[in-house]
A and B are shown apart, each in its own frame.
Chain A
Amino acid sequence: MLLSLAIWVPILAGVLVLWAGDQRPQLLRWLALIGAIAGFLVTIPLWTRFNVDTSAMQFVELRPWIERFNIRYHLGVDGLSLIFVLLNSFITILVVIAGWTVVETRASQYFAAFLIMSGLLNGVFSALDAILFYVFFEGTLIPMFIIIGIWGGPNRVYAAVKFFLYTLFGSLLMLIALLYLYNKSGGSFAILDWHKLPLPLDVQIALFFGFVFAFAVKVPMWPVHTWLPDAHTEAPTGGSVVLAAILLKLGAYGFVRFSLPILPDASHHLAWLMVALSLVAIVYIGLVTLVQTDMKKLIAYSSISHMGFVTLGFFLFNAYGVEGGLVQMISHGFVSAAMFLCVGVMYDRMHTRAIADYGGVVNTMPKFASFMMLFAMANSGLPATSGFVGEFMVIMGAMRVNFWLAFAAATTMVLGAAYTLWMYKRVIFGAVANDHVKKLTDLNQREFLVLALLAAAVLWMGTYPLPFTEVMHSSVNDLLKHLATAKQ
């Protein structure tokens, strides 16, 4: 019941907000906030009542849905998915607060889109039926498409359509893979049944490519990442936050839920390819990030580079790698959300994202500068921030496989620090660049609250990651055990 609430409470709140209309903006905002908070509150029992000693699915709900194809409304979470439900519900609150006064045109549609998307995303993370998963996975495209297209920047239409078509391309191939598995398994869409389904290697490889496009586009992995910088740059702040913090995680989650357990032999067989693509993302995209002149684009590229760590970790097939990848996903959820919010704070005042238009912001916005300092450090993976934990674990995992692999991955520590801190220096430090910067006002209470919440999360996870990793242990160990046995 709890998972259903986590899905449907935000969606119903969204419909309610839509129905309330734009006539009374104040009422509308409070309604959206209450909806978002209610959506978060119903996920808290998931965390407190979660049993960390088992890798089995918990809070399972199972009802027939479309008997014609044996499609079931089957929900459940394990250590791999639980935290993302919480993360998503938490981020939704921040997005609503961050958009409080910023969005003036068609505010009801704006808040409703985010609330509905939040519910759909919870659905993706808790679906255990492949078609249910697919419906939620695709369903999230519609609100995001609308968000980028209506409230985005000048080139928003191009970005929105590109985002939609890229993702649709991947997921349509996945749909064929799902249908193939349905027929092979004798008419079942249950993901957990598929985990046990024996498949010959060549079929596994074909299916692996069916899945890989869907998930790689979403992660995004090099070379199918090109939609992301466009989508991020054009999306409104809230859109960028959800895109970076949650939507990118869908792809990585897809790997651990579908590709690895259903196709273990193909995963081993093609690990070299995935590792190579991840390294390209880490190193090459890291270099590309260095030369960006637009702050949002810079953070977008740094997201690709950080997500490279996640996929690298998954395809190392050891506990450090997989757990490190998951931790990195959560950490990136906090850090990238915070970075985009920081850029949003400046953009709301200056209406430009170009690094060259800034300089000396610390003089006028000291509180903001300190927050951004923390997030910049976390983005470059400084110890005691959440960014460090995941990257360190993945590098440890890589070390067990091959020294040079670990060496290549570790370059991100240098590159990440370089591009983040260099941007920070150019924007925040130095002399006051122009009159616009001189007129800047520091954070208001609303912005302070949002950034403070994220700062607390980043520091908590950086200093005491046990609560996060503890949840994953059993599920990750089970996954690795499953991966170690061939199923051809």
Chain B
Amino acid sequence: MNPVGIALLNHIPAAPEVVLLVGACALMIFDLYVKDEGRRVTYAAAQALLALCAAITLYVFLRMILRLPEGQGGGYYVERYYLFNGLFVIDALAHLLKLVCYIAVSVALVYSRSYLLERGLLRPEFLTLLLFSLLGMMVLISANSFLTVYLGLELMSLCLYALVALNRDSATSTEAAMKYFVLGALSSGLLLYGMSMIYGATGTLTLTEVAQHVTRQAGSAADRSFLVFGVVFVVAGLAFKIGVVPFHMWIPDVYHGASTPVTLVISSGPKVAAFAMAVRMLVNGLPALAPDWQQMLALLAILSIALGNITAIAQSNLKRMLAYSAIAHMGFMLLGLLSGWTGGNWLNRIDAYSASLFYMVVYTAMTLGSFGMLLFLSHAGFECENLDDLKGLNRRHPWYAFLMMLIMFSLAGVPPTAGFYAKLAVFQAAVAADHVWLAVVAVLLSLVGAFYYLRIVKLVYFDEPVGTTPVRPQPAAQVVLSLNGLFLLVFGILPQSLMAMCVLAVARL
């Protein structure tokens, strides 16, 4: 084969990004020539594009899974590959998270389709912005350099800012978009500042090289304090994107102000990407400074769990309540991320990071389900977004009431739902890392959290319905929503396969 062919073949792991970019551009141009009635075609094309990307990712992933030699106990592993001069990394974590992102975006589209159609919001901008922000997430997930991190982050965020403002006649939407943009830009600034300091200390942008330099320099006190100074800003920037206290202010306003489909998008994929960013920058890039950033994360985690769970109780708007719940959940997720380096060794790292990853995957399913339910219960001229709108759902639709109950108990972490194992895994990681007190405090605060999830179950099951408006049949959304709910139940009874997948994904970080 000629050298160009070999070079192309070597870049196949980056094919999903290329396909998505080309597809999204084509869709953008194609959309110009489509009348409003033809929107269904673009919608279907977008879904097909996502399916194609997922198929390619899955294919590459399966090809990259290798068997360990017999001597090392069998089992499987996935090699890491670096592309584009080390700017781009492809490993099991990247594959898994990208698959989660495709599914999240695709499911979000299914849920929001009729909502958007009824309100005339299924415009070409929506689909294109969504696909480009997905591209941003994918770049972020595979980033192995401060440059690619920033590129992916901005591509993702700028699209999201515009998406929040999509409903341009709504004052709350534009206000939310403004807040999101200003705070987002500020956080990007902080992140850049931190990156530039680390660059100044190490002289390289590639994360793997940064890791080597930092390990060498961490010994000397002067260099170390300079690096830690940079880490503080990096962590602050990350905290903004993940949405944990005290960098959480934008979350409730944006969740509340954006139209529900956009909230659904913001609450799922971008969080996954932000998680990937944290893993890439902290675990891959700055492992030698783990004792420092783990302390920072511990503080962020406890504050988020406390503030998120306690403030959520006071909310009467469902979207705001779920926003605070998201803050608390990201705190729980951090419990895993901060338990990798313990007692001077990395023995706990696989347990800890796979726990966080598992939490992230399960949380994505839960947040998709809860906002999906809101979309499903909304219809023309009616937004389901106050707690009272859920009253007596069991009388009207026992099956959706059941799904809602599953989602809520899963968010609260009650077995037999996947949310329980997510909490179990992160608590186990924390206890194994000797953070017993952290786990105890988190556990007690999750009790506080259980209260407001229970309140929703109470509204759904115990109260009399107020309105009698029937839910409009949306066959695709019905099926997907049911699958979404059952996902939480099935992986609440048999979580092994998903857990094993998460272990595989972080085994070679």
Residues of A bordering B, CB below 8 Å:
65-69, 106, 109, 131, 134-135, 138-139, 141-142, 145-146, 149-150, 156-157, 160-161, 164-165, 168-169, 172-173, 175-176, 179-180, 182-183
B44 to chain A, nearest CB (A): 34
A175 near B427: Cβ-Cβ < 8 Å: yes
B446 near A172: Cβ-Cβ < 8 Å: yes
A373 to chain B, nearest CB (A): 37
Tell me, in angstroms, the Cα distance from A183 to B352 when the chains sit together.
14
Assuming A179-B431, A179-B439, is B450 touching A164 (CB within 8 A)?
Answer: yes
List 4 tightest A-B contacts by C-beta distance, closest first. A68-B499, A135-B415, A149-B462, A179-B431
Q: Which residue of the partner chain B has the closest CB to A173?
A: B443
Q: A68-B496, A109-B398, A135-B416 are in contact. List 11 more A-B contacts (CB 8 A).
A: A69-B428, A139-B415, A141-B414, A145-B454, A145-B457, A161-B458, A169-B444, A172-B447, A173-B444, A175-B427, A179-B439
Chain A residues positioned under 8 Å from B500 (CB to CB): 67-68
For B436, B451, B462, the residue with the greatest tally of chain A CB atoms inside 10 Å of its CB is B462
Assuming A66-B495, A66-B499, A183-B432, is B462 touching A156 (CB within 8 A)?
Answer: yes
A146 near B496: Cβ-Cβ < 8 Å: no
* A168 contact from B414, B424, B428, B440, Cβ within 8 A: B414
Interface 1/0 per residue, B378-422 and A, CB below 8 Å: 000000000000000010001000000100010000111000110
A157 near B458: Cβ-Cβ < 8 Å: yes
Tell me, in angstroms, the Cα distance from A68 to B494 when the chains sit together.
11
Assuming A142-B414, A165-B451, is B420 touching A172 (CB within 8 A)?
Answer: no
Tell me, in angstroms, the Cα distance from A161 to B500 when the chains sit together.
36
CB of B115 within 8 Å of the partner chain: no
Q: 17 interchain pairs (CB within 8 A)?
A: A66-B496, A67-B496, A68-B499, A69-B425, A109-B394, A139-B414, A139-B416, A141-B414, A160-B462, A161-B451, A168-B414, A168-B447, A169-B447, A175-B424, A179-B428, A179-B432, A183-B432
Q: What number of residue pairs across chains A and B have CB atoms under 8 A from each other?
A: 93
Tell me, in angstroms, the Cα distance from A61 to B245 when the chains sit together.
46
B414 near A149: Cβ-Cβ < 8 Å: no
Q: Which residue of the partner chain A has the closest CB to B421?
A: A66
Assuming A66-B496, A161-B454, A161-B458, is B414 touching A176 (CB within 8 A)?
Answer: no
CB of B132 within 8 Å of the partner chain: no
CB of B503 within 8 Å of the partner chain: yes
B450 near A146: Cβ-Cβ < 8 Å: no
B458 near A160: Cβ-Cβ < 8 Å: yes
Chain A residues positioned under 8 Å from B462 (CB to CB): 149-150, 156-157, 160
Tell me, in angstroms, the Cα distance from A160 to B459 when the chains sit together.
13
B498 to chain A, nearest CB (A): 9
Tell me, in angstroms, the Cα distance from A373 to B450 when the chains sit together.
43
Tell me, in angstroms, the Cα distance from A379 to B239 when the chains sit together.
60
Interface 1/0 per residue, B476-503 and A, CB below 8 Å: 0000000000000000001110011001
A165 near B443: Cβ-Cβ < 8 Å: no
* Residues of chain B in range 441-472 having any CB-CB distance to chain A below 8 Å: 443-444, 446-447, 450-451, 454-455, 457-458, 461-462
A148 to chain B, nearest CB (A): 9
Tell me, in angstroms, the Cα distance from A169 to B440 when the chains sit together.
11
* A179 contact from B427, B457, B495, Cβ within 8 A: B427
* A150 contact from B446, B461, B496, Cβ within 8 A: B461
Q: Which residue of the partner chain A has the closest CB to B354?
A: A68
B354 to chain A, nearest CB (A): 8
A149 near B416: Cβ-Cβ < 8 Å: no
Q: Which residue of the partner chain B has the closest CB to A108?
A: B398
B490 to chain A, nearest CB (A): 13
Q: Which residue of the partner chain B has the closest CB to A187?
A: B432
A165 near B450: Cβ-Cβ < 8 Å: yes
A158 to chain B, nearest CB (A): 10
Tell me, in angstroms, the Cα distance from A145 to B450 when the chains sit together.
13
Tell me, in angstroms, the Cα distance from A279 to B405 when the chains sit together.
40
Q: Which residue of the partner chain A has the closest CB to B496?
A: A66
Tell me, in angstroms, the Cα distance from A145 to B440 when the chains sit together.
25
Chain B residues positioned under 8 Å from A142 (CB to CB): 405, 409, 414
B169 to chain A, nearest CB (A): 40
A16 to chain B, nearest CB (A): 15
Tell me, in angstroms, the Cα distance from A164 to B428 when the chains sit together.
24
B427 near A176: Cβ-Cβ < 8 Å: yes
B428 near A165: Cβ-Cβ < 8 Å: no
Chain B residues positioned under 8 Å from A145 (CB to CB): 454, 457
Tell me, in angstroms, the Cα distance from A168 to B398 when the chains sit together.
25
Chain B residues positioned under 8 Å from A109 (CB to CB): 394, 398
Tell me, in angstroms, the Cα distance from A141 to B499 when the chains sit together.
26
Chain A residues positioned under 8 Å from B457 (CB to CB): 145
B201 to chain A, nearest CB (A): 37
A173 near B440: Cβ-Cβ < 8 Å: yes
Tell me, in angstroms, the Cα distance from A156 to B495 when the chains sit together.
34
Q: Which residue of the partner chain B has the closest CB to A135?
A: B415
Tell me, in angstroms, the Cα distance from A161 to B455 when the chains sit together.
8
Tell me, in angstroms, the Cα distance from A339 to B249 when the chains sit together.
55
For B415, B424, B499, the residue with the greatest tally of chain A CB atoms inside 10 Å of its CB is B415
A34 to chain B, nearest CB (A): 23
A138 near B415: Cβ-Cβ < 8 Å: yes
B398 near A165: Cβ-Cβ < 8 Å: no
Chain B residues positioned under 8 Å from A168 (CB to CB): 414, 447, 450
Chain A residues positioned under 8 Å from B458 (CB to CB): 149, 157, 160-161
Q: Which residue of the partner chain A has the closest CB to B448?
A: A165
Tell me, in angstroms, the Cα distance from A173 to B446 when the chains sit together.
11
* A165 contact from B432, B447, B461, Cβ within 8 A: B447
A131 near B436: Cβ-Cβ < 8 Å: no
* B454 contact from A135, A139, A165, Cβ within 8 A: A165
Q: Which residue of the partner chain A has the closest CB to B358?
A: A68
* B436 contact from A139, A161, A169, A176, Cβ within 8 A: A176
Q: Which residue of the partner chain B has the closest CB to A166?
A: B447
A214 to chain B, nearest CB (A): 12
Chain B residues positioned under 8 Å from A169 (CB to CB): 444, 447
B431 near A183: Cβ-Cβ < 8 Å: yes
Chain A residues positioned under 8 Å from B420 (CB to CB): 135, 138
Chain B residues positioned under 8 Å from A165 (CB to CB): 447, 450-451, 454
Chain A residues positioned under 8 Å from B443 (CB to CB): 172-173, 175-176
Chain B residues positioned under 8 Å from A157 (CB to CB): 458, 462
Tell me, in angstroms, the Cα distance from A482 to B402 when the chains sit together.
46
Tell me, in angstroms, the Cα distance from A149 to B464 when the chains sit together.
12
Chain A residues positioned under 8 Å from B455 (CB to CB): 161
For A67, A146, A169, A172, the residue with the greatest tally of chain B CB atoms inside 10 Å of its CB is A172
Assuming A134-B415, A149-B462, A160-B462, is B444 touching A172 (CB within 8 A)?
Answer: yes
A361 to chain B, nearest CB (A): 32
A217 to chain B, nearest CB (A): 12
Assuming A66-B496, A68-B499, A160-B462, is B414 touching A138 (CB within 8 A)?
Answer: yes
Tell me, in angstroms, the Cα distance from A180 to B456 when the chains sit together.
32
A68 near B503: Cβ-Cβ < 8 Å: yes
A480 to chain B, nearest CB (A): 31
B173 to chain A, nearest CB (A): 35
Chain A residues positioned under 8 Å from B461 (CB to CB): 146, 149-150
B395 to chain A, nearest CB (A): 8
* A176 contact from B439, B451, B454, Cβ within 8 A: B439
* Residues of chain B in range 165-198 having any CB-CB distance to chain A below 8 Å: none
B309 to chain A, nearest CB (A): 13
Tell me, in angstroms, the Cα distance from A164 to B456 when the chains sit together.
14
Tell me, in angstroms, the Cα distance from A169 to B447 when the chains sit together.
6
Chain B residues positioned under 8 Å from A160 (CB to CB): 458, 462
Tell me, in angstroms, the Cα distance from A165 to B455 when the chains sit together.
11
A176 near B431: Cβ-Cβ < 8 Å: yes
Chain B residues positioned under 8 Å from A135 (CB to CB): 415-416, 420
Tell me, in angstroms, the Cα distance from A139 to B417 when the chains sit together.
9
Tell me, in angstroms, the Cα distance from A116 to B414 when the chains sit together.
16
Q: Which residue of the partner chain B has the closest CB to A109?
A: B398
Tell me, in angstroms, the Cα distance from A134 to B414 when the chains sit together.
10
Tell me, in angstroms, the Cα distance from A265 to B444 when the chains sit together.
27
Tell me, in angstroms, the Cα distance from A165 to B462 when the chains sit together.
17
Q: Which residue of the partner chain A has the closest CB to B429?
A: A179
